[in-house]
Chain A
Amino acid sequence: MATQAENWFSRSRTVARPGYSRWMVPPAALCVHLCIGQAYAYSVFNLPMTKLIGITESAPGDWKLTELGWIFSIAIFFLGVASAVFGRWVEEGGPRKAMFTAACCWAGGFLISAVGVATHSLWLIYLGYGVLGGIALGIGYISPVSTLIKWFPDRPGMATGMAIMGFGGGAFIASPLSVWLMRQFTTETHIGVMETFVVLGVVYFIFMIVGSIIVRVPPDDWKPEGYVAPKANKLISSNNVYVYDALKTPQFWLIWVVLCVNTTAGIGVLGQASAMSQEMFPGHITPVAAAGLVGLMSLFNMGGRFAWATTSDYLGRRNTYFVFMTLGFILYCLVPLTGAAGSVAGFAICFCIIISMYGGGFSTVPAYLRDMFGTRYVGAIHGLLLTAWSAAGIFGPVLVNYIREYNVTHNVAKADAYNTTMYIMAGLFVLGFVCNFFVKAVNERYHMRVDGAVASPAAA
Chain B
Amino acid sequence: MEHEQKPTTTLQLVLAWGFVGIPLLLGVSQTLLNALQLFQ
Contact = CB atoms under 8 A, between A and B. Distances in A.
Pair from one complex: yes
B20 A30 contact: yes
A34 B35 contact: no
Contact of B38 (A16, A176, A216, A293): A293
B3 to A, nearest CB: 8
A292 interface: yes
A433 to B, nearest CB: 31
A31 B19 contact: yes
A413 to B, nearest CB: 23
Interface string B18-40: 01110110111011101111111
Contacts of B4: 17, 20
A443 interface: no
Contacts of A20: 4, 7-8
Contacts of B26: 173
Contact of A172 (B2, B5, B30): B30
A21 B34 CA distance: 37
Interface residues of A, number: 40
Contact of B1 (A17, A171, A302): A17
B37 to A, nearest CB: 4
A13 interface: yes
Contacts of B35: 292-293, 295-296, 299
A166 B35 CA distance: 19
Interface size class of B (residues with CB under 8 A): 20 to 34
A289 interface: yes
A143 to B, nearest CB: 16
Nearest to A165: B24
A20 B16 CA distance: 13
Contact of B8 (A19, A176, A291): A19
Contacts of A365: none
A229 to B, nearest CB: 25
Contacts of A299: 28, 31-32, 35
Contacts of B13: 21, 23-24
Contact of A24 (B12, B23, B31): B12
A176 B19 contact: no
Given A28-B16, A31-B19, A172-B24, A14 B2 contact: yes
Contacts of A216: 2
A17 B31 contact: no
A216 B38 CA distance: 43
B6 A19 contact: yes
Give the most central of A293, A296, A298: most B CB within 10 Å. A296
Interface in A1-54: 12-21, 23-24, 27-28, 30-31, 34
B9 to A, nearest CB: 9
A17 B34 contact: no
Interface string A155-181: 000000000001001011101100000
B20 A166 contact: yes
Would you list the 7 A-B pairs with minimal beta carbon distance, nearest first? A19-B7, A172-B27, A292-B38, A21-B8, A292-B37, A295-B35, A27-B16
24 contacts: A17-B2, A19-B5, A19-B6, A19-B7, A19-B8, A23-B13, A27-B16, A27-B17, A28-B16, A30-B20, A30-B24, A31-B20, A166-B20, A166-B24, A169-B27, A172-B27, A172-B30, A175-B27, A176-B30, A216-B2, A291-B37, A292-B34, A292-B36, A302-B28
Interface of B: 1-2, 4-8, 12-13, 16-17, 19-21, 23-24, 26-28, 30-32, 34-40
